[in-house]
Amino acid sequence: MARIVVADDDLDIRDLIEFKLTTLGHEIVAVSDGAAVLDACREQRPDLCVLDVTMPGMSGLDTVRLIRADLDLLDLPVLLLSARSLDKDVATGLGSGADDYLTKPFSPRELGTRVEALLAR
């Protein structure tokens, strides 16, 4: 079992992610914005972070950059979720420091596969 911080400002998507990852046996800390992600990561030191790119306030890209700048969180695996699917968007997401990038809409099965792969590293 892993502790995973999930951040998406869309409650339906956040609930879907939480449901899928919980059925895989993981403990989920669900939040709705980038600032809450940083707080949760610093307080709970998760095994993985799943972030929406477009959130109010601090974007997922900015959040990843701050995670990578924090020595205590530097090695935290991050999976970005986004409706932006162009090659340049994926490159920007990975260039921000994310370990993986999954486009919306996504299959819950693919989400689970990507999460398990990141946790296995």
98 — pLDDT class (breaks 50, 70, 90):
very high
Q: Give the bridge partners for 4, in sequence order.
A: 28, 48
Domains defined for the chain, CATH in brackets: 3-120 (3.40.50.2300)
Span 71-94, average pLDDT: 95
Q: Is the model's pTM score more than 0.85? A: yes
Q: Please, are residues 4 and 41 in contact by the beta-carbon 8 Å criterion?
A: no
- DSSP, collapsed to helix, strand or coil, labels residue 76 as coil
pLDDT at 32: 92
Q: Taking the CB of residue 60, how many other CB atoms lie within 10 A of it?
A: 28
pLDDT at 43: 95
* 48-52/78-82 β-pairing: parallel
DSSP for 20-38, please give it. Answer: HHHHTT-EEEEESSHHHHH
d(CA 64, CA 93): 9
Contacts of 9 (CB under 8 A, 6+ apart): 32, 33, 52, 54, 55, 56
Span 11-36, average pLDDT: 96
Question: 53-63, pLDDT tens digit by residue?
Answer: 999 889 999 99
d(CA 12, CA 3): 20
Span 30-45, average pLDDT: 94
